[in-house]
DNA sequence: ATGATTACTTAGCCAAGCTAACTAAATTTC
DNA sequence: GAAATTTAGTTAGCTTGGCTAAGTAATCAT
């Protein structure tokens, strides 16, 4: 029924894989999130800091878009992080409306420590796998990464 | 170098895979989360509802643990969801301290619609893959699911 | 039956989300 | 090049979501 000979003809199966991958990602992160308590930072602050640390210098607006919150929300989040000594900001000399935001050394190391805790736990789980199982995960990573970082604008028309 | 002949001897590699899998999961869900705006529910409410819909009937305390929040927080979240007609609760006759919580039909369908939107987007991405790529993802799912749902208590001692 | 424990709620605080309205800088238009 | 428009961010003020501390009510233990 679903096995027509189109170029990529396995729609039902794809939906299955999507359902399972989605659910697995949720459960995986829910479990790793427990480690974040040790950082002393709230989820929103940790997440915003992470975008700045890994993405390098950004503007407040970019950060708000990345975190899917409104500018006033990010404005306060950043203010809190600056007060905590984890970020610093200054106006862009070429366009003095924009806030150029970067992480401080303290911010980077705090975030790195937290991420290391999450990754350490996941590493332990992976080390317990049989060789073939581990290879299956490792082999799927390139593709999963590509899907994960795909442009939100779905296919049809480029922006 | 890392290719000793121990039972499971690839520690550095495991850390690598952990780092990439972690990061991919974050980006994947960040991207899919955009679809949730259409539900009209906040993240915390949507997440709590999802636990009840997929996990079946639970108690308020179980829900709080699952969501990693304190009981008073869940108490209010549930109150909001009940007021919105998405959940209902009643005391357990065997232990009248506990709140038995279940989703209403409206709650289930609202949540299902939202999940369908997320899954649909992911399905489209998967359908665009080459056959070998798709097979790689499908083949890793069993293992990823096992890791994702592993007991938070790390290995050494059973609870 | 009293004391301890457990499950949840109430009160009250602060952080994180929003919209509306504002300031200031840059860009466009005439 | 002055006026209008657009863009980036902030301020004000509201609601929701997080917490702890303290309370109530039910159950369990002695």
Interface touch A139/B138, C-beta < 8 Å: no
C-alpha distance from residue A126 to each of A48, A105, A149 (Å)? 28, 30, 23
Residue A61: CB less than 7 A from any atom in strand C:
no
Residue B73: CB less than 7 A from any atom in strand C:
no
Residue A13: CB less than 7 A from any atom in strand C:
no
Residues listed for chain A: 159
Gap from B96 CA to chain A (nearest CA, Å)? 30
Interface touch A123/B14, C-beta < 8 Å: yes
Interface touch B11/A68, C-beta < 8 Å: no
> What is the rounded end-to-end Cα distance, in angstroms, of chain B?
37
Query: Measured between alpha carbons, how far is A99 from A92 in angstroms, rounded to an integer?
Result: 6
3-class SS at B90? strand
Interface touch B123/A8, C-beta < 8 Å: no
Q: Give the distance, in angstroms, between residue B44 CA and nucleotide C9 C1'.
A: 20
Query: Measured between alpha carbons, how far is A145 from B24 in angstroms, rounded to an integer?
Result: 5
Residue B44: CB less than 7 A from any atom in strand D:
yes
pLDDT band at A155 (very low <50, low <70, confident <90, very high): very low
Q: Of B19, B135, B127, B4, nearest to A139 (Cα)?
A: B135
Query: Measured between alpha carbons, how far is A39 from A67 in angstroms, rounded to an integer?
Result: 19
Please give the share of chain B, as a percent, with pLDDT higher than 90. 83
Q: What is the pLDDT of residues A51-94, one digit of tens each?
A: 999 998 899 999 999 999 999 999 999 999 999 999 999 999 99
Residue A70: CB less than 7 A from any atom in strand C:
yes
Measured to protein CB atoms, the chain D nucleotides within 7 Å are 7-13, 16-22, 25-28
**A-B interface: how many C-beta pairs under 8 angstroms?**
180
3-class SS at B158? coil
Interface touch B8/A34, C-beta < 8 Å: no
Query: Measured between alpha carbons, how far is A29 from A118 in angstroms, rounded to an integer?
Result: 9
Query: What is the pLDDT at residue A152?
Result: 62
Query: Measured between alpha carbons, how far is A143 from B31 in angstroms, rounded to an integer?
Result: 16
Minimal-distance CA residue of chain B relative to A27: B148
| A38: contact with B, CB 8 A cutoff | no
Q: What is the pLDDT of residues B12-71, one digit of tens each?
A: 499 999 999 999 999 999 999 999 999 999 999 999 999 999 998 899 999 999 999 999
Q: What DSSP string describes chain A?
A: -----STT--HHHHHHHHHHHHHHHHHHHHHHGGGGGGG---HHHHHHHHHHHHH-SEEHHHHHHHHT--HHHHHHHHHHHHHTTSEEEEEETTEEEEEEEEE-HHHHHHHHHHHHHHHHHHHHHHHTS-HHHHHHHHHHHHHHHHHHTS-SS-SSS--
Angle (CA) B110 B112 B113, round 5°: 65
Q: Does the pLDDT at position B11 exceed 70? A: no
Q: What DSSP string describes B91-156?
A: EETTEEEEEEEEE-HHHHHHHHHHHHHHHHHHHHHHHTS-HHHHHHHHHHHHHHHHHHTS-SS-SS
Q: Does the pLDDT at position A1 exceed 90? A: no
Q: Give the distance, in angstroms, between residue A46 CA and nucleotide D21 C1'.
A: 27
The pTM of the full predicted model, rounded to 2 decimals, is 0.88
């Amino acid at each position: 029924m679903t096995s027509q000979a189109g170029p990529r003809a396995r729609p039902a199966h794809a939906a299955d894989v999507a359902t399972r991958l989605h659910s697995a990602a949720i459960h995986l992160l829910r479990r790793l999130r427990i480690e974040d308590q040790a950082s002393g930072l709230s989820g929103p602050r940790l997440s915003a800091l992470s975008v700045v640390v890994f993405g390098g210098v950004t503007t407040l607006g970019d950060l708000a878009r990345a975190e899917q919150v409104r500018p006033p929300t990010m404005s306060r989040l950043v203010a809190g992080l600056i007060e905590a000594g984890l970020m610093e900001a200054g106006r862009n000399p070429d366009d003095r409306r924009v806030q150029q935001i970067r992480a401080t050394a303290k911010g980077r190391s705090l975030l790195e420590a937290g991420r290391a805790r999450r990754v350490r736990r996941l590493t332990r789980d992976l080390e317990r796998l049989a060789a073939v199982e581990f290879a299956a995960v490792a082999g799927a990573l390139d593709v999963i990464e590509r899907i994960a970082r795909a442009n939100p604008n779905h296919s049809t028309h480029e922006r």
